[in-house]
Amino acid sequence: MEYSKASVVSVREIAPSIYDMLLKAPGIAKEARPGQFICLYSEDSAHLLPRPISICEVFPDHVRLVFRIAGYGTKELSLKKEGETVTVLGPIGNGYPEFESGKSITVVGGGIGIPPMLYLARKLHENGNEVNVVLGYRDAGLFLNEAFAGYGKVYIATDDGSVGYHGNVVGLIETEKLPVDTVCACGPMPMLKGLAAYTEANGGKAYISLEERMACGVGACLGCITKTKETDGHSHVKNKRICTEGPVFDSSELDFGGAKR
Ligand SMILES: Cc1cc2nc3c(=O)[nH]c(=O)nc-3n(C[C@H](O)[C@H](O)[C@H](O)COP(=O)(O)OP(=O)(O)OC[C@H]3O[C@@H](n4cnc5c(N)ncnc54)[C@H](O)[C@@H]3O)c2cc1C
Ligand code: FES
């Protein structure tokens, strides 16, 4: 993992305030695994902290990122033009575990937690797994749903009922009786908490990616800790850094009472 300059191939808006960016970054593309992320640095020295963005897809020399404008940094990224460069660090984090082939795996993304699930769904499909994809959106402003279709059966839930199942992803999974032996997910904390509880209650394993607020992104500041159920004799709590020990955790390790969102 090292700092590098990635050149911008394209940036386009694919849904309101959601941007799809293709970067030429051969070093990152070569190493990236599903569930990892990269840190992108602002050109403006007043904004020193990097913006962590998940790897959405990987091509031989390129990585695709899909992000929502949330503040200064993501706005700056959305305005990048073809040929400009951005300083990046990565790939960072553990990513999803490597599963044996022939398993039935349910991949779940909610809102801006959807992008990292695309590369995961592709890899699982290529590895001979049966993939069910469950995507949760607020409303009809869908994005990336068509890209998943090549990798598994896609189910859509919307909060307002405008497309697909009216309700959340857990309700959809329950209604459709989708398998939850192995679930991989990324999305807002209430979704992850509900999904983990449902999966564990049905005897399955959930691997969830926590896209929490970060600062340094490289394990140095403890700005991203999450509470786990592990204890040690000294402090009696075992916090983990999402940036280096995550962002993907086995949900049974986590103490959701300590989650920040
Ligand atoms: C591992 C990981 C993967 C992520 N992947 C994606 C993705 O694929 N697509 C996407 O749209 N968003 C993703 N996010 C959230 C994204 O990092 C924030 O929306 C972004 O950092 C906001 O920066 P900003 O300057 O636009 O907003 P501001 O609010 O101005 O940011 C101020 C500071 O807070 C940090 N910050 C603010 N919100 C978040 C947040 N939710 N998570 C982490 N740091 C935050 C910023 O990095 C920055 O240092 C991810 C976050 C994490 C931790
Ligand atoms: S963001 Fe600094 S330790 Fe994780």
- Give residue-wise pLDDT tens across range 215-253: 888 899 889 989 888 876 666 677 899 999 999 999 999
Q: How far is the CA of 240 from the centre of ligand 2 (A)?
A: 10
Alpha-carbon radius of gyration of the chain: 18
Summarize the confidence of residues 154-166 as an average pLDDT: 98
Domain spans, the chain: 2-92, 104-258
What does the pLDDT average to over 97-119?
97
Q: Which of 3, 13, 7 is nearest to 61 (CA)?
A: 7
Quote the mean pLDDT of the chain. 94
Please say if the pLDDT value at position 212 is more than 90: no
Residue 115 has pLDDT above 50, yes or no: yes
- Ligand 2: centre distance to CA 65 (Å): 21
Mean pLDDT in residue range 119-139: 98
Within 6 Å (CB) of ligand 2, which residues are found?
214-217, 219-224, 241, 243
- Output the DSSP codes for the chain: -EEEEEEEEEEEEEETTEEEEEEE-HHHHHH--TT-EEEEE-SSTT--S-EEEE--EE-SSEEEEEEE--SHHHHHHHT--TT-EEEEEEEES--SPPPPTT-EEEEEEEGGGSHHHHHHHHHHHHTT-EEEEEEEESSS---SHHHHTTTSEEEEEETTSSSSEES-HHHHHHHTT---SEEEEES-HHHHHHHHHHHHHTT-EEEEE-----SSSSSSS-TTEEEES---TTTS-EEEEHHHH-SEEEGGGB-GGG---
Candidate CATH numbers 3.40.50.80, 3.20.20.60, 3.40.50.1000, 3.10.180.10; the one for domain 104-258: 3.40.50.80
The CATH architecture of the domain made up of 2-92 is: Beta Barrel (2.40)
> Cβ(169)–Cβ(110) under 8 Å?
yes
Ligand nearest to the CA of 247: 1
Mean pLDDT of 100-123: 97
Atom number, ligand 1, closest to the C-alpha of residue 246: 1
CA–CA distance, 165 with 229 (Å, rounded to integer):
34
81 C-alpha vs ligand 2 centroid, how far in Å?
29
Task: Calculate the CA 247 to chain-centre distance.
Answer: 8
- What is the distance between the alpha carbons of residues 8 and 23, in angstroms, rounded to a whole number? 5
User: For 27, what's the count of Cα atoms within 13 Å in the CB-facing half-sphere?
Assistant: 14
Domains 2-92 and 104-258 share a fold: no
* Ligand 2 nearest atom to the CA of residue 243, by list position: 4
Whole-model pTM?
Answer: 0.95
- Percent of the chain past pLDDT 90, that is, above it, reads 82
Query: What is the residue with the minimal CA distance to atom 44 of ligand 1?
Result: 213
Cα–ligand 1 centroid distance for 52 (angstroms): 6
Q: Indicate whether 260 pLDDT > 50.
A: no
Contacts of 109 (CB under 8 A, 6+ apart): 115, 116, 117, 133, 134, 135, 136, 185, 186, 187
Q: What pLDDT score was predicted for residue 238?
A: 79
Starting from the CA of residue 93, give the closest ligand. Answer: 1
Q: Of the residues 41, 210, 243, which should be mutated to test ligand 2's pocket, given the most ligand atoms within 8 Å of the CB?
A: 243
